[in-house]
Chains A and B, each alone.
Chain A
């Protein structure tokens, strides 16, 4: 058993298989990345790409999942939707941090500066800030904080394409050379495997984090039941 104390849902064979596959994936990806051809101009530095881009993708995925959960919470009163929104926002902040660390490293090696107002990096930064603001609203927003945060998630999701377009045009449409479609054939397989494995990691972390939240909600329910029983007897 991977998790001796796991709940019924997490101890299911499928979930454990997922975790196992993710672990195997993390053994596999470095080999694939190491064997991928070197990029002509940037050389070894370009390998950060296999880490950076999946993180950026998961930052965006987290934002949309957070908005989806918030939608279910706001309009259908779904508590699990709210938990999903919180957990994915947290993961978004985490993977966003990876983007914000690896982005400047790459920029320094590729262009000699730590930060360029490149459209993807800037959009990611704004997305990351929105998710951090989501966390602030939840923590310090008082009684209306949860609902406010949910509304922020909706605005953030609506903002994603607008941010991308506006930042892109703001920087004056400069050519993007490092797009996925222009990847050398030898780089594609490691990249996509890395993308899938990172997504699997995200899924595993989300499931684990959701489990903590579910457990907490259950604990509150039980505490209330105990209070109720005491209330009745006194």
Chain B
């Protein structure tokens, strides 16, 4: 047997998830539909009379709430695939370091979520006439960073909840309090980017950096604690 590098093992696991998703597209469709519904629910709740928009703060909030809620759908579905016919046991029994399993699941889930979010953003632009195009790339970066922060915690929690009966109900309840700082910094930065009247973009830059720092902290804690968490009794 040859030695396989940590990175290529993680990449194999991520590729496996993406390949499965490419075949079924189940997560993209269900998560995308869920995200669109959250956005629409907010539209009905917030917009009244002749208004067509709700202001950058609210649009940013709506976007990130949609990401959070639909993200739990993505997480629980990608981990359902591990639980069906106990594939997770084969994965845990393989000589792959558990941190590589974590990294692989993180990359795959974040990639799937990111794809949906990229499709979601134009919907927001259309529904609320939000100015997403002037800083489209920056906004994309924010979505990516926010998604990584969310998934870095979510992957651990979903893996640990695989054997819990009420895992779907618990996932959000346990995950949201921890990822509030991610939500806060991501939606703040987004609000500044979406605001055409913003005098300068320094706050957005600050929050983007803060979000990146958050990601680093969460991913490090995640890589480090995944092994003992999935170790089993």
Q: Please tell me the number of chain B residues within 8 Å of chain A, measured between CB atoms.
A: 36
Tell me, yes or no, whether B122 is within 8 Å of chain A by CB.
Answer: no
Is A162 within 8 A of B217, CB to CB? Answer: yes
Tell me, yes or no, whether A213 is within 8 Å of chain B by CB.
Answer: no
Is B174 within 8 A of A136, CB to CB? Answer: yes
Is B162 within 8 A of A144, CB to CB? Answer: yes
A to B CB contacts below 8 Å, 11 in the list? A74-B225, A129-B177, A136-B173, A144-B160, A144-B163, A144-B232, A147-B228, A147-B229, A148-B156, A151-B156, A156-B177
Q: How far is the CB of B112 from chain A (nearest CB, A)?
A: 22
Is B174 within 8 A of A163, CB to CB? Answer: no
Is B177 within 8 A of A140, CB to CB? Answer: no
Tell me, yes or no, whether B221 is within 8 Å of chain A by CB.
Answer: yes
In the complex, identify which listed stretch (B28-36, B129-137, B181-189) lies at the interface while the others stay far away. Answer: B181-189
Is A163 within 8 A of B180, CB to CB? Answer: yes
In the complex, identify which listed stretch (A45-53, A100-108, A165-173) lies at the interface while the others stay far away. Answer: A165-173
Is B181 within 8 A of A166, CB to CB? Answer: yes
A 140-176 contacts with B by CB, 8 A: 140-145, 147-148, 150-152, 154-156, 158-159, 162-163, 165-167, 169-170
Q: Which residues of A contact B (CB under 8 A)?
A: 74-75, 126, 129-130, 132-133, 136-137, 140-145, 147-148, 150-152, 154-156, 158-159, 162-163, 165-167, 169-170
Given B162, B221, B231, B232, which contacts A155 in the complex, CB threshold below 8 Å? Answer: B221
Contacts A136-B173, A140-B164, A166-B184 given: A130-B178 contact, CB under 8 Å? Answer: yes
Tell me, yes or no, whether B218 is within 8 Å of chain A by CB.
Answer: yes
Q: Chain A residues with Cβ under 8 A from B232's Cβ?
A: 143-144
A156 to B214, CA, bound (A): 13
A154 to B221, CA, bound (A): 8
Q: How far is the CB of B102 from chain A (nearest CB, A)?
A: 11
Knowing that A143-B164, A151-B156 are A-B contacts, what are 4 other residue pairs whose CB atoms are under 8 Å apart, sorted by A's residue number? A126-B180, A155-B221, A166-B210, A169-B210
A169 to B207, CA, bound (A): 9
Contacts A130-B177, A166-B184, A166-B185 given: A145-B153 contact, CB under 8 Å? Answer: no
Q: Chain A residues with Cβ under 8 A from B177's Cβ?
A: 126, 129-130, 132-133, 156
Give B178's nearest chain A residue, CB to CB.
Answer: A155
Q: Chain A residues with Cβ under 8 A from B206's Cβ?
A: 169
Given B161, B178, B184, which contacts A170 in the complex, CB threshold below 8 Å? Answer: B184
Q: Chain B residues with Cβ under 8 A from A143's Cβ?
A: 163-164, 232-233
A169 to B164, CA, bound (A): 37
Q: How far is the CB of A213 from chain B (nearest CB, A)?
A: 18
Q: Chain B residues with Cβ under 8 A from A151's Cβ?
A: 156-157, 160, 225, 228-229
Contacts A144-B229, A147-B160, A147-B231 given: A133-B173 contact, CB under 8 Å? Answer: yes
Tell me, yes or no, whether B165 is within 8 Å of chain A by CB.
Answer: yes
Tell me, yes or no, whether B94 is within 8 Å of chain A by CB.
Answer: no
A132, A142, A143: residue with the most chain B Cβ atoms closer than 10 Å: A142
Q: Chain B residues with Cβ under 8 A from A74's Cβ?
A: 225, 228-229
Tell me, yes or no, whether B166 is within 8 Å of chain A by CB.
Answer: yes
Tell me, yes or no, whether B141 is within 8 Å of chain A by CB.
Answer: no
Q: Chain B residues with Cβ under 8 A from A142's Cβ?
A: 161, 163-165, 167
A132 to B173, CA, bound (A): 10
Q: Chain B residues with Cβ under 8 A from A130's Cβ?
A: 177-178
A132, A140, A144, A165: residue with the most chain B Cβ atoms closer than 10 Å: A144
Is A163 within 8 A of B181, CB to CB? Answer: yes
A150 to B180, CA, bound (A): 19
